[in-house]
């Protein structure tokens, strides 16, 4: 059974081809990496497979179901969750309120009135403790450091219990201590059965964290393999160094 793959996936913006008939497969139960130079199509690829934008053509397969053209909520219901390069939180809501919004069953009015109790709160407290920010539960999201905001976004994502987690530049804008903290969390969750696809420019993080790496250039994969193979692949060097 194919787990997560695309076949001839394409998207152009005007005359610019962002993703060019990309055919690629990612491995179940692994930490997959998606790397490449700026402007190579990584974020557009993420947006396509999570339903943020519609493809011009091609297939997106997840557990043998075709997600091409699905809306974001349909992708989430299928078991795929994602974070963003720039965190998407409610800045004037508390950490706990942001967690409960992530469940997608609570109204803003309920949250503002602190009217939510029960299992959702207990689960939120558990995930906040897991990522290490439980002591900030009553702090407004805008008052968190950027690294703490990244942790909150991941914790909120985990409230939906996704099977496949897509992380878009989790190390971007955070200090080395926080990078290691996020890496440790990914390793732990992967050991518990979560599959990951990570877009990241931090090559040290990618090479130490990922089991399987796909390299994009000009909207399509140019190399696929284990970290030790990707390091010495001439096509990868050419993509990053411009030939």
β 212-217/57-62 pair status? unpaired
Q: What is the pLDDT of residues 149-203, one digit of tens each?
A: 999 999 999 999 999 999 999 998 899 999 999 999 999 999 999 999 999 989 9
Q: Which domains does the chain carry?
A: 1-72+197-243 (3.40.50.300)
Question: Does residue 118 carry a pLDDT above 80?
Answer: no
Joined together, the tokens standing for residue 114 give 């602190």
Neighbours of 106 (CB within 10 A): 15
Question: Does residue 85 carry a pLDDT above 80?
Answer: yes
> How confident is the model at residue 140, as a pLDDT?
97
Joined together, the tokens standing for residue 142 give 């805008």
Angle at 19 between CA 67 and CA 198, to 5 degrees: 70
Question: Does residue 114 carry a pLDDT above 90?
Answer: no
166 membership: H or E segment, kind and range:
strand 164-168
DSSP at 37? S
> Are 45 and 34 a contacting pair, CB within 8 Å?
yes
Q: What is the pLDDT of residues 23-81, one digit of tens each?
A: 999 999 999 999 999 889 999 999 999 999 999 999 999 998 999 999 999 999 999 99
Angle at 159 between CA 156 and CA 164, to 5 degrees: 95
Alpha carbon distances (Å) from 116 to 68, 89, 101, 119, 124:
36, 19, 11, 9, 11
Helix, coil or strand: residue 133: coil
Length of the chain: 243
């Amino acid at each position: 059974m194919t787990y997560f793959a695309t076949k001839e996936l394409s998207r152009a913006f005007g005359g610019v081809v962002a993703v060019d008939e990309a055919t690629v497969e990612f491995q179940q139960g692994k930490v997959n990496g998606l790397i490449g130079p700026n402007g190579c199509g990584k974020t557009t690829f993420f947006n396509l497979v999570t339903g943020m934008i519609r493809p011009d053509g091609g297939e997106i397969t997840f557990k043998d179901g075709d997600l091409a053209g699905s809306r974001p909520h349909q992708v989430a219901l299928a078991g795929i969750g994602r974070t963003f390069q720039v965190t998407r939180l409610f800045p004037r809501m508390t950490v706990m309120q942001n967690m409960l919004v992530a469940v997608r069953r609570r109204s803003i009015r309920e949250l503002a009135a602190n009217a939510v109790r029960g299992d959702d709160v207990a689960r939120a407290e558990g995930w906040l403790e897991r990522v290490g920010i439980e002591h900030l539960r009553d702090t407004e999201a805008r008052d968190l450091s950027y690294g703490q905001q990244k942790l909150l976004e991941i914790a909120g994502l985990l409230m939906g219990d996704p099977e496949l987690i897509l992380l878009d530049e989790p190390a971007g804008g955070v200090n080395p201590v926080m990078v290691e903290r996020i890496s440790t969390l990914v390793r732990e969750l992967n050991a518990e059965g979560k599959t990951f696809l990570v877009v990241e420019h931090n090559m040290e993080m990618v090479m130490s964290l990922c089991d399987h790496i796909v390299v994009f250039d000009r909207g399509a994969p140019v190399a696929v393999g284990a970290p030790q193979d990707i390091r010495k692949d001439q096509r990868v060097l050419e993509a990053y160094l411009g030939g």
